Amino acid sequence: MTHALPHDLSCPRILTREGGLELSRVVAGMWRMVDWGMTVEQRVAFIEQCIAIGVTSFDHADIYGNYGVEGLFGEALRAQPSLRARIQLVSKCGIKLVSGKRPQHTIQHYDTTVAHIIASAEESLRQLHTDRLDLLLIHRPDPLMDFDEVAGAFTRLREAGKVLHFGVSNFSRHQFESLDRRIRLATNQVEFSPLHVAPLFDETFDGLQDRGVAPMIWSPLGGGRLFSANDAGAEQLRLVIKEIADRLHQPFASVVFAWIMQLPSRPIPLTGSGRIEAIKVAVAGAGFQLARTDWFAILRAARGHEVA
């Protein structure tokens, strides 16, 4: 069944932390942009369409698209410079891929040294054709990460006006709080979906809620597996979500986004699509709440057992 979306669909905004960075309630994830095959003009139009529905925040990483996505997005900003003042740019650093574009990398590894963080941020600025990032994240926890060194790199970038806010991605509660004690962090971007509910139970969301920090969510649809996984558990989960979606006359994916955004830590989900209709479906999830019984029906199906 298909469902019409409201004509006045618009995405609200959310503070990642009191007095901190303001992002759109749904963030457009750019990691697949190389695969979309868009011309510069089509990229400009896509950004404009996102802005028109209130999706003004765009998520990047230096490594996305084999170090290619930021450059593609930057070409759009170069073609239409007025876009920059209307959007928020998020990027990540700290992973070094083995790539023909980085011949000096001989093994895939993490690097959270001051030199790499600053050099990566400056390269992101160059690729994105901008003078500032609104938010820079450490992409993955690094076993050799020195919290004081990371905080020092962040401080230097902030004092230079090159990065306005900072955060992390895929950090545990303890890792987040250890760095947050040294420099105020805006968010922790983590994987979460009905197919991956660990942050509900490993203190990730509890710890962020306690500090007034809204997490960002990657892979909210399980990388598409919510639609395609064929094991018995995934099929039962899909049936439960579909029953709720049909009863509420909402798209399937909108129900999933609503389920995620209903958490008291105020998660900010990312999309991964280059289709504006798919992004509208995500935004629609911000427009309604699930009954508590429906919310727990999805959780029960996700875990395969009752809560007690």
| Strand-strand pairing, 163-169 and 188-191 | parallel
* 67 given a catalytic annotation: no
Catalytic site residue from 58, 64, 171, 205 = 64
**Rounded Cα distance, 153 and 162, in Å:** 11
**Rounded Cα distance, 191 and 169, in Å:** 9
Name the H helices within 181-275.
Answer: 204-210, 225-228, 232-248, 252-261
Q: Say if CB 256 and CB 221 are below 8 A apart.
A: yes
Residue 46 burial (C-beta neighbours within 10 Å; 0-12, 13-18, 19+) = buried
* β strands within 143-234, DSSP E: 163-169, 188-191, 216-218
b/e burial code for range 127-143 (CB count within 10 A of at least 16 → b): bbbbebbbbbbbbbbbe
Pick from 48, 7, 5, 6: nearest CA to 28: 48
Pair of tokens at residue 143:
């076993």
**Which residues form the catalytic set?**
64
